[in-house]
Amino acid sequence: RKEVEQDPGPFNVPEGATVAFNCTYSNSASQSFFWYRQDCRKEPKLLMSVYSSGNEDGRFTAQLNRASQYISLLIRDSKLSDSATYLCAVNWETGANNLFFGTGTRLTVIP
Amino acid sequence: DADVTQTPRNRITKTGKRIMLECSQTKGHDRMYWYRQDPGLGLRLIYYSFDVKDINKGEISDGYSVSRQAQAKFSLSLESAIPNQTALYFCATMGGPAEQFFGPGTRLTVL
């Protein structure tokens, strides 16, 4: 089983729609959680960290469910510019303290 | 100027050739990483380094070697390139807590 799993999509949604992605992780000792955005042929860039209490940044809301071991990303009022691949990443701060990435979920926002 | 730079950005080479990919960072981070990204497989860790004297193998280190020449420089070598090493390669640094900063990537094609 992979440490981090995501639905690869693609998700094709109309402008203005609300879309949500989930990401499950296998290690219950995971401590830090992130969502990254990756545009085609570009590097991943941090979109937002995910805090235990949930957090919001404009149209983006990230939530953590430790009991079920998943994190989610909700995008409201989708824009064409939101089209990208969204990667979740998890770190369990033991051993090498590295990040484990999901394979990414591709989103296309359609006019 | 970019905080994490990679050279070359694109490279086409032939099977059996030795290739070096270079990474430099100005973020002052001790931790540096090399990943490769393949469609459907996400980011896979090749090697990582916590400081100049510390080098560690990642998930897929076979066929690769690295050198940490200074805190700011971390290079990846393919001693004898093979076609299945065709991929997008990313260098990254890690700040705290666990946030990674990626270089722009090197697209490597092995014929």
Per-residue model confidence as pLDDT tens digits over B37-87: 998 888 999 999 999 999 999 989 999 999 999 999 999 999 999 999 999
Q: Is the dihedral of CA B49, B55, B56, B57 positive or negative?
A: positive
Check A43 against B33: CB less than 8 A apart: no
Q: Return the DSSP state at B3.
A: S
Q: What's the pLDDT at B100? A: 87
Could you tell me which residues of chain B have a Cβ less than 8 Å from any Cβ in chain A? 33, 40-43, 45, 48, 56, 58, 88, 90, 94, 97-105, 107
- Measured CB to CB, residues of chain A less than 8 Å from chain B are 8, 31-32, 34, 41-46, 49, 87, 89, 91, 93, 96-99, 101-104
How buried is residue A58: exposed, middle or buried, by Cβ count under 10 Å (0-12/13-18/19+)? exposed
Percent of chain B with pLDDT over 90: 87
Beta-strand pair A99-101/B4-7: unpaired
- Between chain A and chain B, how many beta carbons pairs sit less than 8 Å apart? 49
DSSP state of B39: T
Dihedral over Cα of B56, B62, B64, B65: its sign = positive
